[in-house]
Structure 1
Amino acid sequence: MGLADRQRRRPGRRAAPPTTYRELFSYREFRFLYAGQALSYLGDQVAAVAVAVLVFDRTNSALWSAVAYASAWLPGIVGGPILSPYADRLPRRTVMISCDVARAALIALVPVVPLWTAILLLYVAHLFSPPFVAARAAIMPEVLPGEAYITGNGLSNVTSQLSQLLGFVGGGIVVATIGPVWSLLANAATFVASAALIAAGVGHRPAAARSTGLLAESRDGIRYLWADPWLRRCLALVWVASAFSFAPEAIAYPYAASLGGGPVQAGLLLAAPATGFMVGTIVLTRLIRDRSLMPAALLSTVALVPALADPGLPVLLILLMLAGAGASFIVPLNAIFVRRVAPEFRGRAMGVASSGLLAGQGLAFLAAGAAVQAGLAPAVVVGLSGLLGIAAIVATRPAIVSRRSLLTRGYS
């Protein structure tokens, strides 16, 4: 008897206890989805280092290396709202498998084609990420019912952050050991493995929405989100909070230099918020209830304000960890957001949400870098990011919907 069956046989319970991470794996489809996700995350972290090394080795240009590295997020700004409707108009299992196969083929070609073609292939390959992410996010509430979905969403984000931390530590070692070409081929293999796992373990479901034309579906998805004040404010909260709280990442290297450090200190500055985010995700999805989400969102920017005092590295790392922990409010709020959206709009909703997230963070990165380039001290830029972020978060004033209300108001 599965976890869902045990919960159904307990009438009269006011609310089921939070699902443990171990209990998540009693759901067969989740086991296969999670295994594919973990493989892809690890492969992507190694590939990010491999791309930078491969392009720099060919060109000896930091600019072209950065252009290639940016392929991991720039395509999502456009691809999210335009391509995510496929997660609603086609069977989501088919979308995920097709995207994995396409990315595997394109990434495998990168090491063996001329530079310009290689960079173009990277951008095309990452165009398949938004529909994959949208399809996976949309199918998860059907795979994990009730509270299990909240916990499963949290575990997915913890895995993402852990992969980033491992990537900071191990990505360079792997690339140095087997070389950038084999590292990229290994990343392509993780996409093949993910497609095989989804094909073997995820059941077929029909398309969630009738096709009315790609542009029309994109427009309808945006209208649907903007017609709901709560969804609209939720998006605004996530976009502005993540933009300001993660802006310091863009100036990690100049900040480390201003403290008399180098690449090692910069790596610590990048790892600190990721560590805080991972810990915060575990706490918010397992121990603390929904009333803590807004305070956590404020913490993500309040923690940056003391940087105005130009503290030393140990204090700064603590502040960045606190900011990362606060920013993890995004994870449980994302689960609430997805459950509130009607099933036939979930793919498009996640596409719009992810595009706004990428655009906000990208603009914040550029603004932080430009401010330092203009002469502001990195400590001042981080502190100002906190102050501006506080004002932006307060201005959104979203009314956070509780998880229990979503379980009793008919959302599925």
Structure 2
Amino acid sequence: MPTYRELFAYREFRYLYGGQVLSYLGDQVAAVAVAVLVFDRTESALLSAVAYASSWLPGVLGGPILSTYADRLPRRAVLIGCDLARAGLIALVAVPGVPLWSAIVLLYLAHLFSPPFVAARAAIMPEVLPGEAYITGNGLGNITHQLSQLLGFVAGGVVVAAIGPVWSLIGNAATFALSAALIALGVARRPAALVADGVPQRLLAQSREGIRYILADPWLRTCLALVWVASGFAFAPEAIAYPYAISLGGGPVQAGLLLAAPSVGFLLGALALTRVLTPGTRDRLLRPAAVLSTAALVPVLAHPRLPVVLVLLAVAGAGASFVVPLNAIFVRRVAPEFRGRAMGVAVSGLLVGQGLGFLAVGAAVQAGLAPATVVGLSGLLGTAAVLTTRFAHRPQFPGNPESRADRNGREPFSASPDTRR
């Protein structure tokens, strides 16, 4: 299996990864800056939440449609265009005197460019990194994202306190501009993956075609179901970290530990699955890891003390890292001309599942259930849901000469009955 160092021998990966790091760092600082900027102007927690939701709501509402552009247009152009658009819109948010409602609208517009950017980057990566190098590279990207979340909010608070929210947002805009420059310099031009045959299709028609493509493939359907279900239950306890910390006799510090523990476990699990284990072992462990991501929460029903809870959350996070290699296998399974739309559907479903999980556990605690009981029940229900999801760990991929393509150019569902999950 390729090492992380070996990935940087691929010139295009170096530039794509550099842009990714810049964007992650800028986004973490901007998340703090937006919360501070809106609350300082309005003293309204609701408006702060509305502004903060701009980072994920556009992906829920527009992901499957906007991600179609990652197939319709050259992906390098999509990456550069989205980065430049976000740079300009975020810079406008930082302009002194901009009305608050205008700033919030600009934030939502800026985040509308995230779905096509994420889809284009995911779709182009298998062309940049071949074979197992792609799975290792996808793992490094996810690890980088987790580290940015662990460290970024702390660093973001320091930066915003030092230079203020306005200059922090300007810095975020600069990271997008630098990312666009790196991609322009280091990523090769490629034609659009989706070539029009006769009369060009409308955007919505192509979006529906992408959804039908996923639904017609049993492996893709069950893969998404496994990821959506496991993530929805495994990460739901994040929404009640603060009331759970209070119930354990703690406060903000303990809440931070409860939020950090799954990320630490996720990092360790991703390292094991993408660097330590062999591909065959890794693939066999995908579903057991998914079960672990929820089953590790069940012992919380016994109301253990904080150290035990942190260990259990870390173990659940390690199990949840199954999504890292599975995401790479998913993208490779999809035919190149559908990869952008497939990622749009995958990300939107993930956001919806996690959002519903957050709402459910919050409502349960509000109704009077103890946070520990809610966390344990989330694990119990999640484990039952994961176990009922049928999943095959080893698909065949487009372009594999040993596999038989169907008449649509897709590979047939390749798992034998005893490998179904």
TM range (shorter): over 0.9
Q: Does 1:101 align with 2:81?
A: no
Match of 2:415 in 1: none
Q: Contact between 1:336 and 1:406, CA under 8 Å: does it hold in 2?
A: no
Task: Say if 1:409 and 1:383 are closer, same or farther in 2 by CA, change over 3 A.
Answer: farther
Q: Contact between 2:238 and 2:358, CA under 8 Å: does it hold in 1?
A: yes
Match of 1:190 in 2: 175
CA drift of 1:210 comes to 2.4
Q: Alignment partner for residue 238 of structure 1, among 227, 231, 235? A: 227
Q: Contact between 1:290 and 1:403, CA under 8 Å: does it hold in 2?
A: no
Task: Say if 1:363 and 1:272 are closer, same or farther in 2 by CA, change over 3 A.
Answer: same
TM-score using structure 1 length: 0.93
Q: Does 1:219 align with 2:204?
A: no
Q: Does 1:84 align with 2:67?
A: yes
Using the TM superposition, name which of 133-142 and 209-218 deviates more: 209-218
Q: Does 1:204 align with 2:189?
A: yes
Match of 2:28 in 1: 45
CA drift of 1:169 comes to 2.5
Structure with a larger share of its residues in helix: 1
Match of 1:138 in 2: 123
Amino acid at match of 2:379: G
CA drift of 1:151 comes to 0.4
Q: Does 1:119 align with 2:104?
A: yes
Task: Say if 1:409 and 1:192 are closer, same or farther in 2 by CA, change over 3 A.
Answer: farther
SS for the counterpart of 2:22 is helix
CA drift of 1:408 comes to 6.4
Task: Say if 1:260 and 1:22 are closer, same or farther in 2 by CA, change over 3 A.
Answer: same
Match of 1:296 in 2: 289
Deviations 1:351-402 (A, max 9, x none): 0000000011011111111111111111111001101111111111111116
Q: Contact between 2:245 and 2:254, CA under 8 Å: does it hold in 1?
A: yes
Amino acid at match of 1:378: P
Match of 2:414 in 1: none
Amino acid at match of 1:121: L
Task: Say if 1:32 and 1:403 are closer, same or farther in 2 by CA, change over 3 A.
Answer: farther
Match of 2:369 in 1: 376
Q: Does 1:20 align with 2:13?
A: no
Match of 1:252 in 2: 241
Q: Does 1:180 align with 2:173?
A: no
Amino acid at match of 1:400: H
Between the two proteins, the alignment pairs up a number of residues equal to 395
CA drift of 1:168 comes to 3.4
Instruction: Name the CA distance, whole Å, in 2 between partners of 1:268 and 1:109.
Output: 36
Query: What do you get for the CA RMSD once the two structures are aligned?
Result: 1.6
Instruction: Name the CA distance, whole Å, in 1 between partners of 2:122 and 2:146.
Output: 17
Match of 1:272 in 2: 261
Instruction: Name the CA distance, whole Å, in 2 between partners of 1:306 and 1:354.
Output: 30
TM-score using structure 2 length: 0.91
Instruction: Name the CA distance, whole Å, in 2 between partners of 1:135 and 1:22.
Output: 24
Instruction: Name the CA distance, whole Å, in 2 between partners of 1:407 and 1:282.
Output: 27
Instruction: Name the CA distance, whole Å, in 2 between partners of 1:114 and 1:151.
Output: 45
Q: Contact between 2:262 and 2:314, CA under 8 Å: does it hold in 1?
A: yes
Match of 1:350 in 2: 343
Deviations 1:213-246 (A, max 9, x none): 1001000000000000110000000001011000
Instruction: Name the CA distance, whole Å, in 2 between partners of 1:174 and 1:315.
Output: 34
Q: Does 1:339 align with 2:332?
A: yes
Q: Contact between 2:334 and 2:397, CA under 8 Å: does it hold in 1?
A: no
For structure 2, the residue ranges without an aligned partner over 5 or more in a row are 404-409, 412-421
Q: Contact between 2:333 and 2:396, CA under 8 Å: does it hold in 1?
A: no
Amino acid at match of 2:70: A
CA drift of 1:263 comes to 1.2
For structure 1, the residue ranges without an aligned partner over 5 or more in a row are 1-17
Match of 1:15 in 2: none
Instruction: Name the CA distance, whole Å, in 2 between partners of 1:279 and 1:125.
Output: 33
Q: Contact between 1:305 and 1:383, CA under 8 Å: does it hold in 2?
A: yes
Amino acid at match of 1:186: G
Instruction: Name the CA distance, whole Å, in 2 between partners of 1:343 and 1:378.
Output: 44
Instruction: Name the CA distance, whole Å, in 1 between partners of 2:39 and 2:323.
Output: 35
Task: Say if 1:226 and 1:384 are closer, same or farther in 2 by CA, change over 3 A.
Answer: same
Q: Contact between 1:46 and 1:187, CA under 8 Å: does it hold in 2?
A: yes
Q: Contact between 2:333 and 2:395, CA under 8 Å: does it hold in 1?
A: no
Match of 2:406 in 1: none
SS for the counterpart of 1:159 is helix
Task: Say if 1:299 and 1:408 are closer, same or farther in 2 by CA, change over 3 A.
Answer: farther
CA drift of 1:407 comes to 6.2
SS for the counterpart of 2:48 is helix
Instruction: Name the CA distance, whole Å, in 1 between partners of 2:150 and 2:9.
Output: 28
Amino acid at match of 1:95: V
Q: Contact between 1:37 and 1:194, CA under 8 Å: does it hold in 2?
A: yes
